[in-house]
Amino acid sequence: YDMAELKKLDMAHHLPAQSDYKLQHELGGSRIITRAEGCVITDAEGKSLLDGMAGLWCVNVGYGREELARVAYEQMLELPYYNTFFKTATPPPVRLAAKIAEKLQQSNPDLTHVFFNSSGSEANDTIFRLVRYYWELKGEPKRTVFISRKNAYHGSTVAGASLGGMTFMHAQGGLPIPGIEHVDQPYPFGEGFGEDPAAFGERVAQTIEDRILAVGPENVAAFIGEPVQGAGGVIIPPDSYWPKVEAICRKYGILLIADEVICGFGRLGHWFGHQQWGIKPDLVAMAKGLSSGYLPISAVGVSKKIVDVLIEKGGDFVHGYTYSGHPTCAAVALANIEIMENENLIERTRTVTGPYLAKALKRLDAHPLVGEARSLGLIGAVEIVSEKGTNKRFKGAEGTAGPIVRDLCIKNGLMVRGIRDSIVMCPPLIITEAEIDQLVDTIEKSLNEAEPVLRAL
Ligand code: PMP
């Protein structure tokens, strides 16, 4: 590949996602990634990087899976596409729905049904309308309010970005739409710094009940949250948080939605992240790891109590996408889940690689720039501080220390993400122990190189 030519075309014609277009031009175009194998991506100039982000939190089974390519090829020859609008369906999504339900029912036997979309944002849009429609059918149309968390990411569509709690997204395009309340996130290293974690988890969960009472429980439709907030900065809640959130939702008859777009399909060492805390959501959004990013597909797990109302009360739910239940995408997702089963990737993450990453990150505890290095399963974050033992940030670089260290990681052969003052990681679940060591060692090396830069700011 000719990197220079591709960069020129990139600048002339291509608008990448969530991008600073001025920066795209200052950098002379995007880095063009051309190949990948296992956990390693390679760019057009032949530079290889360990992919510490599994693409964008999604390539759980790693790159270069011939079996997934073969399944897509065979399905495309047999039946590339048909819709689910004409009282029709095709075998792959029907089988995939049953397979997903089997995994969901490990934690909640009531999660019996699945609705397909193409992206995580669409999954949350489906949830948004389905939940309000459910309450309308139930004869409680006033229940329209969604409670979400500050800094949450639930997608880029109007409903997704509104459910999300990123104020810098809200500032673009006049969001959020009405009827969405944002409460605190359970961020032990942030608002909970120095507080007993269990007490902090309960205190933050309590803000949900406070908000429900302020809004009026009769107006509240649902609570939505990621088991572990990913794009918000890998925020791992204290163990006391989710059980209390669930109890509050039950107390007021409010639906509980787990956004498992990142946490689903093994990330935390369970099929679904919420299974870490044994809670029972009524709706579950999933995408990314569902197909390991090989083809776009997302799904919504829907509990029987909701489906029963849809069946009993009748009427069309006028909602769906051209690509809902896309047979080729569904066939690839099914084969992807089979890989996870055959290679025991979920259990391996819970018992081998997840604990290995946690232990490797402990090595960073002594680093003068590291305020905290945390992980659960194969997702983690390193908090960068200016003063050891505190959560104080570098004054001249507040909110940007992460991207500074990230750029050094990339130079040193590791793709990670810098979110505010932290480095976050989310490698493919097939990562080896040697690659985990390489990941942590590269972060350490990059922190060493960043230290004089950050101190000079
Ligand atoms: N929810 C969560 C938790 C996500 O992390 C994302 C994507 N990063 C989405 C929803 C949106 O998914 P998509 O980009 O596929 O629309």
Segment 18-33, tens digit of pLDDT: 888 999 999 999 999 9
10 lies in some domain = no
Q: Which residues contact 131 (CB under 8 A, 6 or more apart)?
A: 146, 221, 222, 255, 257, 283
**Alpha carbons 186 and 454: distance in angstroms, whole number:** 28
pLDDT at 398: 86
With tokens 């979110």, the residue in question is: 419
The residue range of the domain holding 374 is: 31-61+344-456
Question: Do 280 and 383 share a domain, yes or no?
Answer: no
Cα 455 from chain centroid? 33
Instruction: Report whether 48 contacts 442 (CB < 8 A).
Output: no
Question: Do 329 and 351 share a domain, yes or no?
Answer: no
Q: H or E stretch including 77?
A: helix 66-78
Domain CATH code at residue 203 = 3.40.640.10
How many angstroms does the Cα of residue 153 sit away from the middle of ligand 1? 7
Q: Is the CB of 262 under 6 A from ligand 1?
A: yes
pLDDT at 373: 98
pLDDT at 143: 98
Assembly ipTM: 0.99
Question: Do 292 and 362 share a domain, yes or no?
Answer: no
Exposed / middle / buried, residue 293 (Cβ in 10 Å: 0-12, 13-18, 19+): buried
Domain final position from 311, 342, 373: 342
Q: Is the CB of 209 under 6 A from ligand 1?
A: no
- Structure tokens given for 40: 């390693």
Q: Which residues contact 245 (CB under 8 A, 6 or more apart)?
A: 205, 208, 223, 225, 256, 279
How many angstroms does the Cα of residue 124 sit away from the middle of ligand 1? 9
126 lies in some domain = yes
Question: Do 110 and 247 share a domain, yes or no?
Answer: yes
Instruction: Report whether 261 contacts 298 (CB < 8 A).
Output: yes
Choice from 18, 116, 121 to test ligand 1 binding pocket (greatest atom count within 8 A of CB):
121
168 lies in some domain = yes
Question: Do 248 and 146 share a domain, yes or no?
Answer: yes
Question: Do 405 and 427 share a domain, yes or no?
Answer: yes
Q: Which atom of ligand 1 is nearest to the CA of 231?
A: 5
13 lies in some domain = no
From 20-29, 354-363, 430-439, the region with the lowest mean pLDDT: 20-29
Question: Do 188 and 121 share a domain, yes or no?
Answer: yes
Instruction: Report whether 301 contacts 280 (CB < 8 A).
Output: no
How many angstroms does the Cα of residue 120 sit away from the middle of ligand 1? 5
Domain CATH code at residue 433 = 3.90.1150.10
Domain final position from 342, 375, 407: 342
Question: Do 208 and 104 share a domain, yes or no?
Answer: yes
Q: Is the CB of 227 under 6 A from ligand 1?
A: no
Tens of pLDDT along 438-451?
999 999 999 999 99
Number of domains in the chain: 2
Exposed / middle / buried, residue 137 (Cβ in 10 Å: 0-12, 13-18, 19+): middle
